[in-house]
Structure formats: structure tokens, C-alpha cells
């Protein structure tokens, strides 16, 4: 279950390398994941999340406590 964003659920997808002669070979597109520490003021502690760049923007927009509360409701251990 590695390389999955904890907030958005983004995971690797597959596609093709396409050469000049149009030969297609399999490849993987990996999400832009960052391991980031956030300070959760409501609980007075630091938490570490593996989030994509899009997940960081989601946390900035909706608030860390709201996002963490929804993750815990889904059964994620934080």
C-alpha cells in the first residue's frame, strides 16, 4: 500500500513509453508524494502524513483538523 496519498487516495497509474518509432512499452506514473509533518493544535501534537501536492492544497483549503477527522472516520490510524 505504498505510494498512496493518505488524503486524496492518489496512487500510481500505468501508461506507455512511446518511442520515436511508436513502439509502446509499459511504464508507471507515480504521484507527487511528500512525507510532511503537521502540527495539530486541537490535540497539541505533531502528526506525519504521506500526502501528494494536491493533498497539501486540500489541507490548506479545508483545514487540518477537518481532514484528520474525516480520515479517522474512514478508519485511517493517525
- Count, in order, helices (H) and strands (E) of the chain: 2, 4
Cell of 48: 506525519
pTM: 0.86
CA distance 51 to 16: 25
Instruction: State residue 48's pLDDT score.
Output: 96
pLDDT, position 1: 55
User: CATH no. for residue 43?
Assistant: 2.30.170.40
Structural domains in the chain (count): 1
Task: Name the residue range of residue 7's domain.
Answer: 1-15+23-78
pLDDT at res. 5: 97
pLDDT digits (tens, 9 = 90+) for 12-70: 999 999 999 999 999 999 999 999 999 999 999 999 999 999 999 999 999 999 999 99
Q: What confidence score (pLDDT) does residue 2 get? A: 86
Amino acid at each position: 500500500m505504498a505510494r498512496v496519498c493518505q488524503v486524496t487516495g492518489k496512487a500510481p497509474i500505468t501508461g506507455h513509453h512511446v518511442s520515436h518509432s511508436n513502439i509502446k512499452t509499459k511504464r508507471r506514473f507515480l504521484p507527487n508524494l511528500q512525507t510532511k509533518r503537521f502540527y495539530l493544535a486541537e490535540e497539541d501534537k505533531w502528526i506525519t502524513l504521506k500526502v501528494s501536492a494536491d493533498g497539501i492544497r486540500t489541507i490548506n483549503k479545508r483545514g487540518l483538523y477537518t481532514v484528520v477527522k474525516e480520515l479517522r472516520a474512514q478508519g485511517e490510524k493517525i
